[in-house]
Amino acid sequence: MSKTVRKLQVASPVPADIDVANSVEPLHISEIAQELNLSPHHYDLYGKYKAKVLLSVIDELQGRGDGYYVVVGGITPTPLGEGKSTTTVGLCQALGAFLDKKVVTCLRQPSQGPTFGIKGGAAGGGYSQVIPMDEFNLHLTGDIHAITAANNLLAAAIDTRIFHESTQSDKALFNRLCPPNKEGKRSFNNIMFSRLKKLGISKTNPEELTPEEVKKFARLDIDPESITWRRVMDVNDRFLRKITIGQGPEEKGMVRETGFDISVASEIMAVLALTTSLSDMRERLGKMVIGNSKAGDPITADDLGIGGALTVLMKDAINPTLMQTLEGTPVLVHAGPFANIAHGNSSIVADKIALKLVGPDGFVVTEAGFGADIGTEKFMNIKCRYSGLTPQCAVIVATIRALKMHGGGPQVVAGKPLDHAYVTENVALVEAGCINLARHISNTKAYGVNVVVAINKFSTDSEAELSAVRDAAFAAGAFDAVICSHHAHGGKGAVDLGIAVQKACENVTQPLRFLYPLDISIKEKIEAIAKSYGASGVEYSEQVKYFDSHILSSLSLISLLNN
């Protein structure tokens, strides 16, 4: 057994998450790093319990084989969540602390919005948590703050460019963009050459541009109505969702309606999660589309000349953060894109580093956000397609509570006590709701991975209800279905799940299959996804049909993912 692994002293009933987290003194993060054979030059310390792992580790371990790759998704959840993060952590504690396997947990960094909202944190729960829990759920190593700064820098650049173009001549704009040096000579930089190429201008000497070419180069002519880029902040502040800007006396006539999103909904977060290197991130940031010109041409961050500055702000955020579980197994925390606007998974670079660190026969367990219909689908079709990594097993987390809701039970509302139906035995209600579980299993199996159902057990669940879920899981084609108590018992409560996952990984018989090819239209991709959910087809409003010709430039995330 690893020297970093510690045995928990569990209490019953399970204390509050923060009390459990504070009951364990974290190991110095250098000890966790050493267990992964990371040398001090492989990471930068951020205090005693956190470190940034450098991307150079991937290059140094390039010849080493990868470990098994496991993704944890879930059935359609209630507003309370069904324990995907807790199950992910508990499974890894079981693999590392009880089954003596090399293991790394890869999790998203939580937004402070839900942390300070009613849902709470995202470090897991009970005796299956990442620690220090308070640091995990708050600033961590500042990645989300870097995203906030970069996003808002781009927002400021957009409005500043519109302002200057409205008040200055072509010559004045050109002088600002390409000023002469002390000798009176002008020169283009690399980003400018990219813009010239985009405009079909082959000249390399600024002095040779015609007045018409100067105008094309200097004026982006952004259509304010087309701007899709909004400002962000990392707390829930509903009164900033819609605002007007340009109210100052110097911006007279520049009033524009816009608003704020939460920071993890920024496209920069999606870029961070999908990037593979600093140069790749630089290219992706520069390609982000912020809106259109009045002629209908897409405008990018590089058209604004801001891509390099965004990269500088993100240069440390590209490195994943090393932490630990309650039982001393290693965790990489990185990125946290919202699943409803992005792919809802932690980063490619964290997974790649982890797979090399655990090596053959080791395990990397990562979590997919939302239900398997959103998180796991995007994990397979977007993240795995771009990374080239192939998962061997997908875990689907299910709870009696959620299945009862899907079976027709009363509405579950965050912050309100559960209805009597959820705390007393009702096998028929559970069986009726298992159609949701069955659909998730069949959808996930279609990718060619083995599916293991983790039944997250609550104290109010009866044996008959749990047996009904296991029977339904096997009937739907699950490789295995295991009842887990990791919230109450830590890794010990997920040992059976760990054994099932190991067997599933060792018995893969099919290659990874995607739901759709990349060379079909966006409409066809949407239809493929909708049909996988059970829809018979997709209909489009007249407004969508009207904008169909601009859909590639408007849906900037899709263009980002497919480039």
Mark 211-241 as b/e (b = at least 16 C-beta within 10 Å).
eebbbbbbbbbbbbebbebbbbbbeeeeebe
pLDDT (tens digit, 9 = 90+) per residue, 169-211? 999 999 999 999 989 899 999 999 999 999 999 999 999 999 9
453 forms beta bridges with 396, 481
Looking at per-residue confidence, does 285 or 5 come out higher? 285
Provide the pLDDT for residue 121: 65
pLDDT on residue 553: 38
> What is the rounded distance in angstroms from the CA atom of residue 315 to the CA atom of residue 142?
12
* Predicted local distance difference test score (pLDDT) of residue 543: 74
Proportion of the chain in helix, strand, coil states, percent, rounded to 5: 45, 15, 40
**Which residues sit opposite 51 in a β-bridge?**
45, 322
Q: What is the pLDDT of residue 118?
A: 61
Question: Cα(242)–Cα(394) distance, rounded to whole angstroms?
Answer: 39
Q: Which residues pair with 289 in a beta bridge?
A: 300
Average pLDDT of the chain, as a whole number: 92
Collect all residues with Cβ–Cβ distance below 8 Å to 228 and sequence separation of at least 6: 289, 290, 291, 554, 556
pLDDT level of residue 136 (50, 70, 90 thresholds) = very high
Output the six-digit token pair for 304.
Answer: 């604004």
Look at the block and give the residue holding tokens 């808002």: 152
What value does the mean pLDDT take over residues 40-57? 97
Interval 150-162: pLDDT, tens: 999 999 999 999 9
In angstroms, the CA 126 to CA 105 distance is: 17
pLDDT the model gives residue 404: 97
| Distance (Å, whole) CA 232 – CA 308 | 20
Distances (CA, A) of 292 to 221, 444, 552: 9, 38, 11
pTM of the model: 0.93
Q: What residues contact 538, with CB distance under 8 A and at least 6 apart? A: 523, 526, 527, 530
User: Who has greater pLDDT, 552 or 281?
Assistant: 281
Q: What is the DSSP letter of 14?
A: P
Stretch 32-55: mean pLDDT: 97
* Structure confidence by residue, pLDDT tens digits, 393-437: 999 999 999 999 999 999 998 878 999 999 999 999 999 999 999
